[in-house]
Structure 1
Amino acid sequence: MIRIALAFILIAAGAIPLQAQETVRVGFRADAPPFSFRVGAQTEYHGFLAELCVDIIEDAGLALEPVEISAENRFDMLSRGGGAGGIDLLCDPTSINLERMSNYLLSPIVFATGAGYLRHSRIGNGEDNRNEVLVGYLRGTTASTAVDIARNSAQVIKTVSGGTIRNVEVDDHIDGITRICQGKLDFYFGDIDILRAVQANLMATQGLDCGRVLGSDGRLFSYEAYALASNAGRPDLALLVQRGVFMAFSDGRARDSYARNFDRRDMGAALKAVFALNAVLPCGEVLDHDPCH
């Protein structure tokens, strides 16, 4: 946390304060519940990360222009920046890695999760004697790394002698979940929280039959730390986002949003640590009343 703070102090020297009511173009995913999603024809975005971004921009008195992005084009849009028809800020499940740290300005960690999978029940029950096993994941995400790890583990993805494993990239989670529920994929990898949410939504709203789809029994193939990403040319915005993250985690709004979007699910140890470390501002600095007592 100290290193993150020092990094932002260093870039602050070149930052020009944002003007009130300046418009910030913010990229949201429509297909990544419970982090960022849109319901039907609604124009508002919902989810833990989407709500966090809205709170940050509104608290600063800035105007927010929502822009729908996809897992595949999000970083191209962020690299272009808001003034070039791209986006200034990316509010989706963005995993932190060295490449992204080099190319963008990342906030403190705002969520910790991991990559898991769904599998069709024919795998492991005697029906999996085909020559080809189909393994799906969302194009443009770090799920491909989890697939590579699983493929190297003979205990997870198996084929008959002489069989093959074929990776299948999909364009959105709805397509991927639909395929595995219909038996067109054997495995589908991704952020386990997103997979659960999309599957539950498709079953509830579209009557998708996922009775033969099983989870990964808590097994994770990578740990993912999420951050909000600002365009590299916007240190002013990155500083605002940093303070906004600390405010939202300090005054209880982030915890309330988690309870709302995750059905009050118990947090794992890593996520509890994220919430504790980000609650750094004394209560009196963020609200007139004291929400801590």
Structure 2
Amino acid sequence: MHRARWRPIRAEAPLLSTCLLSACLLAASLLSGPVSAQPAGEGLSPTLANIKATHTVRIGYRESSPPFSFLDHSNRPIGYSLELCDAIVEEIGTEVDDANLKVDYVKVTSDDRIPAVVDKKIDLECGSTTANAERGKQVAFSPLMFVAGTKLMVPKASGVTQVADLKGKTVVVTKGTTNEQAMHNVDAKQKLGLNIVTAPDHEQSYQMLVDGKADAFATDDILLYGLIARHKSQDKFRVTGDYLSYDPYGIMYRKGEPQMKDVVERAFRRLASNRDIVPLYNKWFVARLPTGEKLNVALSPQLEEAFKALDDSPGGSN
């Protein structure tokens, strides 16, 4: 029966073929219409499209990187980096036309934070991460948000004032950090014979020093000050030595997405042009933290210039 019904159509010459073609084109256009018109991520980069589809931004946070990213007394993630990410989330909401995006906090460590971004487990890494060329091969970074460098935390009674004083001794570093590489570099260069050991995160590294399992803890100076303040151990430990590395910090996200890059940079420019970024810095580095400690680390001239450059950049207020 089906064959009999279709025979006359095939028997009709070009007119019916043209009609069939027109009908197919019309059907195709009708089917494709809703896809291009629907708000399911059409025209958005992969990260933004997924955020729009799930109504959720996944933020990677650190448990013990005060004042950038750490836990308050209620075990909620807080910090300078997280507030910067709040501004980015707001800008993402504008970009994907969703003012009520949810935030899903995902704990990361120094060792797994880059894979978490690359493997799409998180959308933004809001911690204390150095932006360098090597990491830039895998991930993208926001504009500069802080400048730090590797220094040493040692017991206050220790005679150590510089890295050379640690010859033949044990230094703990946090696994997966630029500080780990910096210590291996200085060890090789100065032939110190250091015993360089690693811990999973800054809190565990600090604890190794407390327990006497290491003679020094090497990481970014601001993180050392933050840990000392958090543990109220100013009478036990001090930060010493010359800078052993240069570590510019940034918010990390997936590379290869120009639209996401634009969103992140717009968020930073908005903070700078609204004059919000310096008060935000002071809230976390100068004023008393929500957890009670106080760092008193004034804005450096270098970072002040970086913030000013954001305001003067295209899209800033000038």
Classify the TM-score, shorter chain.
Answer: 0.7 to 0.9
- When the two chains are superposed, the root-mean-square deviation of aligned CA atoms in Å is 3.1
The TM-score normalised by the length of structure 1 is: 0.75
Residue pairs, 1:164-203, within 5 angstroms: 164-203=193-232
SS at match of 1:93: coil
Query: Contact 2:281–2:299 (CA<8 Å) still a contact in 1?
Result: no
Residue pairs, 1:199-214, within 5 angstroms: 199-203=228-232, 211-214=235-238
Deviation at 1:20, TM superposition (A): 9.3
Residues 4-44 of structure 1 show CA distances to partners (whole Å, capped at 9, x for unaligned) of xxxxxxxxx9847764983221111121111111124433x
Q: Which amino acid aligns with 2:202?
A: H
1:27 aligned residue: 60
Query: Contact 1:112–1:274 (CA<8 Å) still a contact in 2?
Result: no
Residue pairs, 1:90-105, within 5 angstroms: 90-105=125-140
Q: Which amino acid aligns with 1:227?
A: G
1:4 aligned residue: none
Of 251, 272, 286, 1:249 maps to 272
Query: Contact 1:180–1:187 (CA<8 Å) still a contact in 2?
Result: yes
1:9 aligned residue: none
Moved more, 250-259 or 230-239: 230-239
Residue pairs, 1:222-233, within 5 angstroms: 222-232=245-255
The TM-score normalised by the length of structure 2 is: 0.70
Query: Contact 1:31–1:174 (CA<8 Å) still a contact in 2?
Result: yes
2:83 aligned residue: 51
SS at match of 1:25: strand
Whichever structure has more strand as a proportion of its residues is: 1
1:221 aligned residue: 244
SS at match of 2:231: helix
Residues 121-169 of structure 1 show CA distances to partners (whole Å, capped at 9, x for unaligned) of 33459xxx99941111100100012213442565xx96xxxxx421110
Deviation at 1:199, TM superposition (A): 1.7
SS at match of 1:57: helix
Structure 1 residues 134 and 177: CA distance shift in structure 2, 3 A: same
Which consecutive segments of 4 or more residues in structure 1 shift more than 6 A?
Answer: none
Residues 262-289 of structure 1 show CA distances to partners (whole Å, capped at 9, x for unaligned) of 1253222322222221223699x77xxx
Percent identity for Structure 1 against Structure 2: 23
Work out the CA distance in 2 between the residues paired with 1:123 and 1:242. Answer: 45
Query: Contact 2:152–2:240 (CA<8 Å) still a contact in 1?
Result: yes
Q: Does 1:36 align with 2:72?
A: no
Work out the CA distance in 2 between the residues paired with 1:144 and 1:95. Answer: 12
Q: Which amino acid aligns with 2:116?
A: M
Which one has a bigger Cα radius of gyration?
A: 2
Q: Does 1:280 align with 2:312?
A: yes
Query: Contact 2:143–2:265 (CA<8 Å) still a contact in 1?
Result: yes
Q: Does 1:71 align with 2:116?
A: no
Q: Does 1:134 align with 2:134?
A: no
Work out the CA distance in 2 between the residues paired with 1:166 and 1:282. Answer: 49
Q: Which amino acid aligns with 1:107?
A: S
Structure 1: give runs of 5+ residues left out of the alignment.
1-12, 159-163, 204-208, 287-291
2:25 aligned residue: none
Query: Contact 1:87–1:231 (CA<8 Å) still a contact in 2?
Result: no
Work out the CA distance in 2 between the residues paired with 1:110 and 1:210. Answer: 26
Deviation at 1:233, TM superposition (A): 5.6
1:114 aligned residue: 149
Structure 1 residues 114 and 124: CA distance shift in structure 2, 3 A: closer
Structure 2: give runs of 5+ residues left out of the alignment.
1-42, 94-98, 287-295
Higher RCO, 1 vs 2 (CA within 8 Å, ≥6 residues apart): 1
2:183 aligned residue: 147
Deviation at 1:183, TM superposition (A): 2.9
Q: Which amino acid aligns with 1:102?
A: K
Q: Which amino acid aligns with 2:216?
A: F
Deviation at 1:235, TM superposition (A): 3.7
Query: Contact 2:182–2:244 (CA<8 Å) still a contact in 1?
Result: yes
Q: How many residues in Structure 1 have an aligned counterpart in Structure 2?
A: 254
Query: Contact 1:106–1:229 (CA<8 Å) still a contact in 2?
Result: yes
Moved more, 129-138 or 62-71: 129-138
Residues 79-117 of structure 1 show CA distances to partners (whole Å, capped at 9, x for unaligned) of 111xxxx11111112212223212222222222221111
Deviation at 1:195, TM superposition (A): 1.0
Q: Which amino acid aligns with 1:34?
A: P
Query: Contact 1:108–1:227 (CA<8 Å) still a contact in 2?
Result: yes
Query: Contact 1:36–1:91 (CA<8 Å) still a contact in 2?
Result: yes
Deviation at 1:179, TM superposition (A): 2.4
